[in-house]
Amino acid sequence: MTDVPVTTRKDWATDQEVRWCPGCGDYSILTAMQLLMPEMGVRREDTVFVSGIGCAARFPYYMNTYGLHAIHGRSPAVATGLAMARGDLHVWVVGGDGDMMSIGGNHLIHALRRNVNLNILLFNNQIYGLTKGQYSPTSERGKVTKSTPHGSVEQPFNAVSLALGAEASFVARTHDMDRGHMQEMFRRAHDHPGAAFVEVYQNCNVFNDGAFAAITKRDARDSMLIDLKHGEPVRFGADGELGVVIEDGRARVVAVAEVGVDALVVHDETDPDPSVAYSLSRLANTNDVPTPVGVFRAVDRSEYGSAVTSQIAASQAKAGPGDLHKLLHSRPTWQVA
Amino acid sequence: MTNIAQQAGEVRKADGIVLRFAGDSGDGMQLTGDRFTSASALFGNDLATLPEFPAEIRAPAGTLAGVSSFQVHISDHDITTPGDAPTVLVAMNPAALKSDLPLLQPGGTVIVNSDAFNERNLAKAGYESDPLTDGTLDGYTVVTAPMTDLTKRACQDLGVKPRDAERSKNFFALGLVSWLYSRPVEPTVDWIDGKFAGRDTVIAANKAAFAAGHAFGETAELGASRLMVAPAALDPGTYTNINGNTALSWGLIAASQLAGIPLFLGSYPITPASDILHELARHKNFGVRTLQAEDEIAAVGAALGAAYGGHIGVTTTSGPGMALKAETVGLAVSLELPLVVIDIQRGGPSTGLPTKTEAADLLMAMYGRHGEAPLPIVSAQSPSDCFFAAIEAVRIAVEHRTPVILLSDGYLANSSEPWRIPDVEQLGSISIEFASRPNHVDADGEAVFWPFRRDERLVRPWAIPGTPDLMHRIGGIEKEDGSGNISYEPDNHQAMVRLRAERIALIAHHIPPVEVIGDPDADVAVVGWGSTWGAITGARRRLEAAGHRLAHIHLRHLNPLPANLGELLASFERVVVPEMNMGQLCRMLRAEYLVDAKSVTKVSGQPFTAAELAEAFYREIETVGAAR
């Protein structure tokens, strides 16, 4: 990586005017990314941001890399083709909860299942922003919006649970109030071979302001964010006084003093069985209870694009590179004189 | 086995026969027809086939719904259709006879498996009495053979269970027709060896059944029914028998070789397009990447993503899938990226007739996107022509940076014909140029890259990720011409809409002018597209043989239309447009050229026959003649 030119944030920013609402959580995510990129040892031209439609999907316009702003929901599909064709690229997929979990839900789960080499960032603000405030597939029950004036009667998705259920090999969660944590998660996603899914809790200050405030504001974080660390007991609180145990396959928050440190679950992000990770993801289905953040799961699994490339190489080794003349004569032939 | 060469002298000659194999879905009729076809191809006949099968994998056995047929026309001269009507019908059960007897030419030959004509099967087919004895077949030449029983007996010493032996009865039928129509036996015997390698009892049973069928012809004294169709005098060369989907797959591979960039196929299984996915998935040594996507939308999305990365992005589907892909095709129009969208048309709307042919997606291809979203459309005219149509679609897509829709149909997809294999050196080339350096100087005097700066053909550069200094962002939002930056300016959008239309229209200068087949001075010109080529050609030859004059114009390019077409159409008294839809090209021609074109339509799920079209064209010739 020594030959990668030294860059600064400025090199990774475009000259385009950023058009998110003032105060939008997307700004801090963009800043985190632009500041992180010079540290990643990658070239701008080898980096591609692919997006669908929505506020989050404008992200590529602000990164001085290659960028493809596609159509609603389809970014994981478009990025799958790109990543399959071009294993040399670093492909990021950016979208919101409506884009990736509603209209594009099918593509998201299949990109995760196939383990395509993509870094998928889900900016979850639990609302439709660009269409001005309808409930989303992650909005809580009872949510009153323009399209649910009597309150939503739908069960929301838990994005981390969904990703784990979709056989994702890397699943993480972070939030827009903590640049360092975001950068750590983005870096881990980048380093992971295969599909890496990162849910970013993101504040929409216009249509869903403060949705995550109870867990992400500075003075709440200690007691409300459970920072998952590989190989360490899962505990949180200002003095680590709270922890998580797994009982009968279910995760439960406990006082460490009552159960002892040894009773706490030791986080193993490499566990091939996603059950414990899933249990941890179920700790928080609303934004007012302690919520795990960090890497839930990071397992090694065959990456899709390279598996396809390996089959091509094996086929060429066996049959030789394609010979068109031979192909056209590969079925029974006869001569007419 | 009998030496065909020795017997040939005793056999009556025919210039062609149309044979139709019909049986239950489980009877192996497609395979039987395919083997007969292959043997005939290797023998040197010209031929054309029409496989017909139900949409259900196994409809209830013995019912009319479960009948699967395979029609093949073999000839001692150049032919273009699978025949107007079968001259020989092989019916493996009562349902097959009931369903396909109405198609048989008066006085034709019926070959039946008499063992299947029991009470139960007769009832399932809706026969109240036995058609073999009640006079139903009066006027036909009837050959009855207890195929099931004779097959079982032929296999009894081979250690094959009777139930398994029964499954070889289609090879008995194949053996019998091979004898009746003097087909070489070696290709079939060799094929059995190869196909069932490692399953010795299956090989033995199939060969025994085939031999028993062959011997039955001799011992049952069927010599009077024998016919011989001599090899056709085709252009010299090496030939292979090929169907449309295989030819199309090979055309895509060829295009990738000609362009020197890899092929990427995103596809979702759908009848009758799936065989292209199957075929391309086999050829990984050509660097072909295939993705069986989670849905039609992902399939085209991935193809577009691969195209953005510098591959030849292709997606294959049929009508329902086309509807799903429309938004992504619109994105490709807006991005001005190469993409090949292949529609193997079938009967619609909705699920329609999945296994039957139709060509009713032309106007969807033209207009089936929101906004002003023009794109080039290419069509294939015969099974082997799918090879060249695929190359042409790729060529236009990559050279003009545009999505292209290639229209084939269910008939071309599954129908086969002898193909004189082209010399790969003569296939031409496809020019690929990836942008490598900045193409504009900004106000500060700095060299920058403008993704929408166009060349003289109004084509924008193809700058693929990984290229230093050309980082840029593109999307479906309207872009400023030149810089490619997001722009909602009214004048810019107006200009961009016009540019997108103009650049597609300009492609008319990069395609060959259309040529008249037949008599350019005829009063009546037939304008066709797609698979109607075969039936139109057959009809034209009949009319010419009867002393009539007809001009035939067949369109490879449906958008833009060839530059000389308007002038050409104006030179005829009458323009007739036969189509397997309700008159879609006819509308386009009337709108484009103010020509009073007449439509001839057929939407039965069956291709036109040459006879139908000859009659329709004759009426027009007569009408024009009478008016004079």
How many C-beta neighbours within 10 Å does residue B294 have? 21
What pLDDT, on a 0 to 100 scale, did the predictor assign at position A54? 96
Per-residue confidence band for B390, with pLDDT thresholds at 50, 70 and 90: very high
pLDDT tens-digit series, residues B21-64: 999 988 999 999 999 999 999 999 999 999 998 888 888 889 99
DSSP for B25-40 reads GGG-HHHHHHHHHHHH
What pLDDT, on a 0 to 100 scale, did the predictor assign at position B345? 98
Task: Judge whether residue A53 has pLDDT over 60.
Answer: yes
For a pLDDT cut of 70, what percent of chain B falls above it? Answer: 98
Q: Which residues of B touch A322 (CB under 8 A)?
A: 253, 257, 283, 285-287
pLDDT tens-digit series, residues A258-292: 999 999 999 999 999 999 999 999 999 999 999 99
How many angstroms away from the CA of B337 is the closest CA of chain A? 12
For a pLDDT cut of 90, what percent of chain B falls above it? Answer: 93
Task: Judge whether residue B385 has pLDDT over 70.
Answer: yes
Query: For A211, how many CA atoms within 13 A lie in the half-sphere containing its CB?
Result: 28
- The answer to whether B34 and A332 are in contact (CB under 8 A) is no
Task: Judge whether residue A14 has pLDDT over 70.
Answer: yes
Contact A85 B309 (CB under 8 A): yes
Per-residue confidence band for B223, with pLDDT thresholds at 50, 70 and 90: confident
Q: Is A77 on the interface with B (CB under 8 A)?
A: yes
Contact A322 B286 (CB under 8 A): yes
Rounded to whole angstroms, the Cα distance separating B628 from B626 reads 5
How many angstroms away from the CA of A335 is the closest CA of chain B? 5
Computed over every residue of chain B, the mean pLDDT equals 95
Where are chain B's structural domains?
4-229, 240-304+312-419, 433-510, 516-627
pLDDT tens-digit series, residues A122-177: 999 999 999 999 999 999 999 999 999 999 999 999 999 999 999 999 999 999 99
> Under CATH, what is the fold of the domain B516-627?
Rossmann fold (3.40.50)
Task: Judge whether residue B225 has pLDDT over 90.
Answer: no
Computed over every residue of chain A, the mean pLDDT equals 97
The closest of B405, B413, B237 to B330, measured between CA atoms, is: B405
Task: Judge whether residue B6 has pLDDT over 60.
Answer: no
pLDDT tens-digit series, residues A197-245: 999 999 999 999 999 999 999 999 999 999 999 999 999 999 999 999 9
Mean pLDDT within B295-317: 98
Minimum-distance CB partner of A71 among B187, B257, B328 = B328
* Residues facing B139 on adjacent strands: none
The closest of B285, B27, B68, B65 to B174, measured between CA atoms, is: B27
What pLDDT, on a 0 to 100 scale, did the predictor assign at position A38? 97
CA angle A99, A103, A108 (to 5 degrees): 70
Contact B291 A81 (CB under 8 A): yes
What is the residue type of B42?
A: L
Instruction: State if pTM tops 0.80.
Output: yes
pLDDT tens-digit series, residues B30-39: 999 999 999 9
Task: Judge whether residue B3 has pLDDT over 90.
Answer: no
Contact A84 B472 (CB under 8 A): no
Rounded to whole angstroms, the Cα distance separating A285 from A262 reads 26
Contact A324 B235 (CB under 8 A): no
Question: Could you give the ipTM of this predicted complex?
Answer: 0.98
CA angle B252, B257, B260 (to 5 degrees): 120
How many angstroms away from the CA of A146 is the closest CA of chain B? 26
What pLDDT, on a 0 to 100 scale, did the predictor assign at position B164? 86
Which whole-number Å values give the CA distances from B188 to B171, B192, B222, B620, in the listed order?
A: 9, 6, 22, 46
Contact B264 A85 (CB under 8 A): yes
What is the dotted CATH code of the domain comprising B240-304+312-419? 3.40.50.970
Task: Find the range with the poorest average confidence among B158-162, B395-399, B414-418.
Answer: B158-162
What pLDDT, on a 0 to 100 scale, did the predictor assign at position A2? 53
**Equal fold, B4-229 vs B240-304+312-419:** no
Domains delineated in chain A? 9-211+302-310 (3.40.50.970)
> Under CATH, what is the fold of the domain B4-229?
Pyruvate-ferredoxin Oxidoreductase; domain 3 (3.40.920)
